[in-house]
């Protein structure tokens, strides 16, 4: 009997769902994209328990006819394309016909929909089985409800993140949709509370809804055509940087993607203006003919492939670098007013479409009825009748693109090897620290005990094992105004005076901050106004921040006020601190907050410690050695060793006394 057999539909649908429906945020992304493709101008996203218990997407789009409802849940059934040729010019966000069938196979799914011609109907299925179809009068549009995601795939549900982490990923998707489709009104409801809302009134207001009003002043609004590619959106000014890449957003023909060519071009343009571990802020949209973009290269369509990466790289690098460098070309690229109306006409399957300057594909009649943006009468970079032509013959020789792409493979290997050498020394120590971090498995503990135990685990992390010698150490003196030298008769010990003093000061600061809990009220409270997303995140972290000794309270809509700080942190740069806290809202868990505080204490100790090149008196050397209490195993808070031992045997080998 043969060993190869065809899987039944229930099995292969669950397997296929693993590619499309990876997490709750994948469901939200696919369903919202369907709503956008249906021509919706008003979309509501509602979730409960991180989208695990409930995901509901409601829109006012074209709707689904009753006869099409069953087909909608069939694998590879779609209204977006008809044959293989359509993929080469696809401008809709969805086109594979996989999403609804995949979602239905791993959840309890209900769709209620009505078109302009029909009163409404519904379809309900559990795990893709026991399908039920009937009438359900409703207004024009569609409501998709997904209950109990992965209820029939316990192995997949087991590996989901916490509800808060899953919620954060969904929030990330919703913010991208708001930014990518500013002409659509979005309402985002989390556990019954409106967390974010936009009103479909333009790109600038979408930016404000997501990042707050101040972001507009901190960015350049650019609008330019380079090499047949339209680049428009917001580029952060030189000083407006973030600690993580999560504040970088790129849309290609309206599709949110993470593309290495584009991100590298922008990063290289900013290279001369960034501090270490700082990343540029941007929300950019690039528009180019669909036939030069392959959107069918990733299961979740999160990346695209360009027919010529050099041209795209050159366009983005040119726009960003001209603006940042303040060249004459920047005057033409930067738009000092609000966004202007620019449309590009396309004809698809005999129907007229407009690709707006916001990167949205709309049928021509819908685009013309949409409310015009503010200052729509301002002169545009291209007239509304212009067709963007991708210049396939553009010569990139001598450009930034050529310099980047023409590097020999050996050069990349050499640079990579150099980077490895730089970090090799730290790697072993950092890995040992990671192994010491043990997460608390008993979730029944109180939140307060949880924070204390996590803090204790970090205390252990930053405390090295003591290494003492049984013999008396004899002081030789100071060398190079940086190192103290001691001997025990058989070995020499070199002590880095800065690292030693930094470790001693750090341990004192940590001990005081944990034991004394003294606070100082700020003469002038520090006030910060955040975006809706940031405010929602910080609101949930208030209790944990307060347990670290920082008094903080809500002070109006999306506004918070810090009124007191621990004595050891009175000189804390609050803006820098909260930028760090919110720099990676997706991944910053409660247990990492003590680490942020300890990092600030380490910075304070580093600044206050004796510097290399400082000549110490005999009494200062004695005092430093006394504070070390004979512990030769210390490391500075950043992981560098304090003491290096050189044995007599090593020295004898140098002088060829022994071999």
Complete DSSP assignment for 438-474: -----TTS-HHHHHHHHHHHHHHHT-PPP---SSPPE
291 close to 89: Cβ distance less than 8 angstroms: yes
Domain-located, residue 430: no
Domain-located, residue 651: no
Pick from 456, 175, 224: which is nearest to 329 by CA?
A: 224
Do 196 and 219 lie in one domain? The reply is: no
Do 209 and 295 lie in one domain? The reply is: yes
DSSP structural state of residue 8: P
CA 56 to mean position of chain CA atoms: 24
Do 484 and 590 lie in one domain? The reply is: yes
Query: How far is the CA of 21 from the CAs of 51, 99, 163, in angstroms?
Result: 12, 8, 17
Do 133 and 236 lie in one domain? The reply is: no
Which residues face 111 on adjacent strands? Answer: 123, 144
Do 170 and 217 lie in one domain? The reply is: no
Q: In 435-574, at which residue ranges do the beta strands (DSSP E only) sit? A: 474-479, 483-487, 491-496, 519-529, 551-554, 559-566
Domain-located, residue 400: no
CA distance 60 to 115: 10
Q: Which of 140, 165, 200 is the last residue of a domain?
A: 200
CA distance 69 to 131: 11
Do 308 and 256 lie in one domain? The reply is: yes
Low-confidence ranges of the chain (pLDDT < 50): 338-344, 346-349, 355, 357-361, 367-388, 408-409, 412-413, 415-465
Burial string for 388-427 (b: 16+ CB within 10 Å, else e) reads bebeeebebeebbbeebeeeeeeeeeeeeeeeeeeeeeee
Do 171 and 209 lie in one domain? The reply is: no
Do 240 and 329 lie in one domain? The reply is: yes
Length of the chain as a residue count = 659
Q: Are strands 248-252 and 185-190 parallel, antiparallel or unpaired?
A: unpaired
Identify the CATH number of the domain in which residue 553 sits.
Answer: 3.30.1370.100
Identify the CATH number of the domain in which residue 25 sits.
Answer: 3.30.565.10
Domain-located, residue 333: yes
Identify the CATH number of the domain in which residue 359 sits.
Answer: 3.30.230.10
CA distance 625 to 641: 16
Q: What are the residue ranges of helices labelled H in 184-297? A: 203-211, 214-217, 260-270
CA distance 43 to 93: 16
Total domains in the fold of the chain: 3
Domain-located, residue 526: yes
Do 241 and 136 lie in one domain? The reply is: no
Q: Which of 369, 395, 421 is the last residue of a domain?
A: 395
Domain-located, residue 405: no
Do 176 and 243 lie in one domain? The reply is: no
Owning domain of residue 527: 442-645
Domain-located, residue 431: no
Domain-located, residue 295: yes
Residue 345: predicted pLDDT? 54
pLDDT tens digits for range 572-613: 888 888 877 776 565 555 555 667 777 777 888 888 889 999
CA distance 25 to 166: 7
Do 477 and 626 lie in one domain? The reply is: yes
Query: How far is the CA of 590 from the CAs of 165, 188, 243, 293, 452, in angstroms?
Result: 11, 24, 18, 41, 11
Residue 477: predicted pLDDT? 93
pLDDT tens digits for range 96-141: 567 788 888 899 999 999 998 888 999 999 988 878 999 988 999 9
Residue 241: predicted pLDDT? 87
Do 308 and 285 lie in one domain? The reply is: yes
Q: Which of 165, 200, 235 is the last residue of a domain?
A: 200
């Amino acid at each position: 009997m043969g060993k190869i057999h065809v899987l039944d539909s229930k099995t292969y649908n669950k397997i296929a769902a693993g590619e499309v429906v990876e997490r709750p945020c994948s469901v939200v992304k696919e369903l919202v994209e369907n709503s956008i493709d249906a021509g919706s101008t008003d979309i509501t996203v509602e979730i409960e328990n991180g989208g695990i218990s409930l995901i509901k997407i409601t829109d006012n789009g074209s709707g689904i006819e009753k006869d099409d409802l069953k087909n909608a849940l069939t694998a590879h059934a779609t209204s977006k394309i008809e044959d293989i040729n359509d993929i080469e010019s696809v401008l809709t966000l969805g086109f594979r016909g996989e999403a609804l069938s995949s979602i239905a196979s791993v959840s309890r799914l209900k769709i209620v929909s009505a078109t302009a011609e029909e009163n409404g109907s519904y379809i309900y299925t559990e795990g893709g089985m026991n399908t039920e179809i009937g009438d359900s009068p409703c207004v024009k549009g569609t409501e998709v409800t997904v209950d109990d995601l992965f209820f029939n795939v316990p192995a997949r549900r087991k590996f989901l993140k916490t509800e808060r982490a899953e919620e954060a990923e969904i929030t990330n998707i919703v913010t991208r949709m708001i930014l990518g489709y500013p002409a659509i009104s979005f309402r985002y409801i989390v556990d019954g509370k409106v967390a974010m809302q936009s009103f479909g009134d333009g790109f600038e207001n979408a930016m404000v809804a997501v990042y707050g009003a101040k972001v507009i002043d901190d960015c350049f609004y650019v609008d330019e055509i380079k090499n047949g590619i339209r680049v428009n959106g917001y580029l952060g000014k030189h000083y407006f940087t973030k600690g993580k890449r999560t504040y970088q957003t790129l849309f290609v023909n309206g599709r949110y993607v993470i593309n290495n060519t584009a991100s590298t071009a922008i990063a290289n343009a900013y290279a001369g203006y960034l501090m270490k571990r700082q990343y540029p802020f941007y929300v950019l949209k690039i528009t180019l003919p669909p036939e030069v973009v392959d959107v069918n290269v990733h299961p979740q369509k999160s990346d695209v492939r360009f027919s010529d990466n050099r041209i795209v790289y050159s366009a983005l690098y040119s726009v960003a670098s001209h603006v940042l460098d303040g060249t004459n070309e920047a005057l033409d690229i930067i738009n000092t007013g609000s966004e202007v109306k620019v449309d590009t006409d396309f004809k698809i399957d005999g129907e007229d479409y407009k690709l707006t300057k916001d990167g949205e594909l709309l049928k021509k009649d819908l685009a013309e009825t949409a409310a015009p943006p503010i200052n729509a009468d301002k002169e545009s970079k291209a007239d509304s009748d212009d067709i963007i032509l991708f210049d396939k013959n553009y010569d990139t020789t001598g450009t930034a693109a050529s310099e980047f792409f023409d590097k020999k493979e050996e050069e990349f290997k050499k640079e990579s090897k150099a980077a490895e050498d730089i970090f090799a020394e730290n790697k072993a120590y950092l890995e040992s620290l990671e192994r010491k971090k043990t997460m608390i498995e008993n979730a029944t503990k109180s939140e307060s005990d949880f924070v204390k135990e996590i803090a204790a685990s970090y205390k252990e992390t930053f405390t090295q094992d003591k290494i003492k010698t049984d013999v008396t150490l004899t002081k030789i003196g100071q060398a190079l105004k940086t190192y103290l030298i001691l001997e025990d008769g058989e070995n020499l010990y070199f002590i880095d005076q800065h690292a030693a003093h930094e470790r001693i000061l750090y341990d004192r600061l940590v001990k005081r901050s944990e034991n004394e809990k003294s606070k100082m009220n700020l003469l002038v409270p520090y006030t910060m106004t955040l975006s809706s997303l940031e405010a929602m995140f910080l609101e949930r972290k208030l209790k944990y921040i307060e347990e670290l000794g920082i008094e903080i309270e809500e002070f109006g809509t999306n506004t918070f006020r810090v009124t007191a700080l621990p004595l050891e942190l009175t000189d804390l740069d609050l803006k820098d601190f909260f930028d760090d806290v919110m720099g990676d809202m997706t991944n910053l868990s409660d247990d990492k907050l003590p680490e942020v505080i300890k990092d600030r204490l380490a910075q304070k100790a580093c600044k206050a410690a004796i510097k290399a090149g400082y000549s110490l008196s005999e009494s200062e050397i004695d005092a430093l050695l006394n504070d070390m209490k004979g512990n030769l195993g210390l490391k500075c808070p950043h992981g560098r060793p304090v003491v290096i031992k050189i044995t007599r045997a090593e020295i004898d080998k140098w002088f060829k006394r022994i071999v």
